[in-house]
Amino acid sequence: MRALLVEIICPDHGLERFRIKVKRKFNMPKNSIILKFRSKPHKEVSCILVGRNVTRKEIEKFVLEYLQKDWMYNNLIYVKPI
């Protein structure tokens, strides 16, 4: 899996789709998942850094939990691995 395609209903813009890249790193702990944020224009998730032993289901579960904490979970249509 290289990315997750997320589709939400945005109250301002209507239907919105975006990708979150998944980068597998070998120099970090084996079972860790870390979000990397963009600094400009505002704090958005640019990619997810994962360790060697992290499975696809664990990544999807982590993203859904993150979106559940944020406002986007209520407007979420789907999260699809690419």
> pLDDT per residue over 68-82, tens digit each?
887 677 888 999 999
Q: What's the whole-number mean pLDDT along residues 11-38?
A: 92
Whether the predicted pLDDT of 55 surpasses 90: yes
**Least confident piece of the model among 5-9, 22-26, 38-42, 47-51:** 38-42
pLDDT at 71: 67
Residues 51, 59: contact at Cβ < 8 Å? Answer: no
47-75: buried (b, 16+ CB within 10 Å) or exposed (e) per residue? bbbbbeebeeeebeebbeebbeeeeeeee
Domain ranges for the chain, please list them: 3-81
